[in-house]
Structure 1
Amino acid sequence: MSASASVLSVGASLNEGKKVHRILHVFRAPVGGLFRHVCDLARLQAAAGHKVGLICDSSTGGERAIEALNDLLPHLELGIVRLPMRRNPHGSDIVVVRAVARRARGIGATILHGHGAKGGAYARLAGMPSNLPSLIRAYTPHGGSYNYKPGTLRHRIYMGVERLLATRTDVFLFESEYVAGRHRRFVGGRPRTVRIVHNGIDEAEFVPVQHKADAYDLVYVGELREAKGIPVLLDALVGLHAEGRPTRLLMVGSGPDADQLAERARQLGLSGSVAFEPPQPIRAALAKGRIMVVPSLAESLPYVVLEAAAAQQPLVSTNVGGIPEIFGAAATDLVGAGDPFALKRAIVRLLDEDPAQGSARSRALGEFVQTRFSMKRMGADVLSGYAAALRVRAASIVRTPLSTLKQLPKSS
């Protein structure tokens, strides 16, 4: 069974004759793990009989985003709207908030589900008629503003914004225990409804990857941004070369710092040892490198680590965000972020590891991920969160005095 057919089968199994939702997912960039999460959810929810639509940015993602959205479109009865969205706060955000509100009203949305800091803000700020008491607003942070360093001005500002937006959030669907903990610590309050919904991998993805004969020693897959710890990885590579190990690295991805990172590699004398390739399917990228390195300085619950673990790819990763939740008992293998020497030591350990021992380690991690990070479970937990929030909303309506309800404006 193909991964796509498997998703549809999982989605159909979630349909238990429950109320049909009209779900509008709102997010910014159609790239990376957040985009995969939304696409998987949309397919699952559509297969379960719900009506689903998307709103996202029109200026990012390129041809790969267009292709992915076209593939998804047959599952989206409520369609796709793309409009310009800025990464950082901007005056144009007001235009987007109004567009989200218009779209939600136009399709009669019952669930407004925001993803990431920007999508979450748009979904929760969108003004809706007060005579739609059944509409709920869901929020999945995907790290977002919670990943900023505590104590910095930017972190304090964003946590203040999250505190205000929390009052307009019916259900938090945190993708990791880590982000849920950051919310409790820095935002506080008592959310109406909370669920931990780990990102899920399809059963069809749990197949060991076969490496190419000419594979690089190391492969990085993800956004080309300094915040992903790539300069640290390059420094670790310099250290490997200094020890007489002519290790080669393949960088797969795109991003705002691509040119600067290529120039840094050149300045470090690594031009002949570091190659760059554009974004591509994860298994194709993994087949080109024997060890995947995740040098991130901050993360939530990255899909790329789940996907690599499912493929039984040898992994070196930093101990940040929700990554220890993915590794479980093997989290002791993770290394501190921002430390090129620790990263180099971890890479050397895997380079020199007995093949049988390495295979056993990768197989054990894949089996652990398979038991905990199921796509079916992810879909069911999201729908459970919606249902719980709707029950809370219904109970609040029952407690509202009849005289107040009569004053609500009628729908047009």
Structure 2
Amino acid sequence: MNICLVSDFFFPNHGGVEEHIYNLAQCLLETGNKVIIITHSYGDRKGVRWMTNGLKVYYLPIKVFYNQCILPTMIANIPMLRNIFIREQIQIVHGHSAFSALAHEAMNIGVLMGLRAIFTDHSLFGFADLSAVVTNKFLQLSLAFCNHFICVSHIGKENTVLRGRMKSSKVSVIPNAVNCLQFTPNPINRDNNSITIVVVSRLVYRKGIDLLSSVIPYFKNRQDINFIIAGDGPKRELLEEIREKNNMQDRIQMLGALEHSEVRDVLTRGHIFLNTSLTEAYCMAIVEACSVGLHIVSTNVGGIPEVLPEKLNVILTQPDPKALINALEQTIDRIKRFRQGKSTANEITCPFRVNQIVSKLYNWSDVSARTEIIYRKVLQEPRMSLKTIMTNVLHRSGVYLFLLVISLCYVILKFLDWFYPADKIEVCPNFNERRKAKQKCQIN
């Protein structure tokens, strides 16, 4: 299959969506598919770049409008995207993230060209505030073009079905995964004379940094408790203020933003991983921390209860400072009992054993195989006609004005078919097939 993964969020930017797209692409390449990625330019990174295993990335020369996303024009990027889809002989356009305007535009244009579209939602959204209302309405319009939808948790599926007004039968749940070979334990990296609590997160309101700022002062007189906080964002000043106010400069390390390759080394320095998120569809950070062998204390919100079983040293609690403090005290007591050789029989204390369990629960080969099943399923469906698309738009959103936008996109595509026919566009060779053929010849 020829697959195009599209999102505004990709390397050199760092985050869960970026990691998901890259790892999914690598696994799809390994199974013989042709995969390209389309994103916008990042600084001087423009044009075509090649990554590991021949992964081709198009960094389109489009300026960022807000929060790493392009301005959703719907029509301005049609010639560029059409040219790429034809040149690469794309069959499936797979968009990621509800915030990504580029993903929605690419899916819409792809379906109007007769391709199949799949959308993966990575986040949970509300229904009351203005930002959520606008995002949900835009999602209803855009998802009228999609053949199938993927969510990373069952609570995420319920949220997406309600926001997008779609049939639940069209939505599949495929969780994220973690490369447990990259996140292996290293117990000798810890200072066992104290207990270190690690926080790795974007320092924003949605990640519960205000909760964290209420928890930290409780431990100001506990000299055996230290904090390592990795991440950056608008709430960093709040944490620095708390650190100064409570004279904890020597016990709270603020590392700032990290490369993903540096996260494992930071996690191995800790004993407890603290997650204070107020909303999460699926928390990759706690899976990575658990894979390294840390005890997990997390808020019980969104899809987090679906991620890890309690036997893996996980305590979930309400998003409340007192509840988080109680959970941390329980975990600290558990660690001290383990050091004294008083662990209970049902506790898995070996970090390498935990790593093996996580590797079986979540691995990218499984995610890729389940995604390929959906790809083959949508390829067997008939192409979506213009009439079907317009009917879906009216049924889900009732916005008649958007029908004019769809019609304009369709007219522009027909004009481009006349002005610059598909047979005049040079087809790009499949280097993945050439590489495998070369390897086969070398083996023979």
Q: Mark yes or no: TM-score above 0.5.
A: yes
1:262 to 236, 240, 264: 240
The aligned counterpart of 1:150 is: 127
Structure 1 stretches of 4+ moved >6 Å? none
SS at match of 2:189: coil
Answering whether residue 119 of structure 2 is matched by residue 136 of structure 1, we say no
Q: 1:103 to 1:266 in 2, by over 3 A?
A: farther
The aligned counterpart of 2:437 is: none
Matches within 5 A, 1:292-307: 292-307=273-288
The aligned counterpart of 1:386 is: 375
The aligned counterpart of 1:84 is: 63
Aligned-partner Cα distance in 2 for 1:130–1:224: 38
Contact 2:274 2:297 in 1 (8 A): yes
SS at match of 2:307: helix
Q: 1:329 to 1:252 in 2, by over 3 A?
A: closer
The aligned counterpart of 1:55 is: 38
Cα offset, 1:89, TM superposition: 9.8
Contact 1:42 1:76 in 2 (8 A): yes
Q: Which of the two has higher C-alpha Rg?
A: 2
Structure 1: where are the runs of 5+ without partners?
Answer: 1-19, 400-407
Tell me which moved more, 356-365 or 369-378.
Answer: 356-365
Answering whether residue 350 of structure 2 is matched by residue 370 of structure 1, we say no
TM-score by length of 1: 0.78
Contact 2:111 2:117 in 1 (8 A): no
Contact 2:97 2:103 in 1 (8 A): no
Contact 2:268 2:292 in 1 (8 A): no
Answering whether residue 10 of structure 2 is matched by residue 31 of structure 1, we say no
Q: Which amino acid aligns with 1:84?
A: K
The aligned counterpart of 2:315 is: 333
SS at match of 2:177: coil
1:239 to 213, 218, 233: 218
Cα offset, 1:225, TM superposition: 1.9
CA offsets 1:29-56 (integer angstroms, 9 cap, x no match): 5311111111101111112222222223
Q: Which amino acid aligns with 1:360?
A: I
Answering whether residue 263 of structure 2 is matched by residue 285 of structure 1, we say no
Q: Which amino acid aligns with 1:335?
A: T
Q: 1:275 to 1:71 in 2, by over 3 A?
A: farther
SS at match of 1:199: coil
1:122 to 76, 85, 102: 102
Aligned-partner Cα distance in 1 for 2:367–2:158: 19
Aligned-partner Cα distance in 1 for 2:375–2:273: 36
The CA RMSD over aligned residues, in Å, is 3.5
Aligned-partner Cα distance in 2 for 1:97–1:43: 27
Aligned-partner Cα distance in 1 for 2:372–2:110: 24
Contact 2:201 2:230 in 1 (8 A): yes
Cα offset, 1:230, TM superposition: 2.0
Q: 1:88 to 1:283 in 2, by over 3 A?
A: closer
SS at match of 2:187: coil
Q: 1:109 to 1:276 in 2, by over 3 A?
A: same
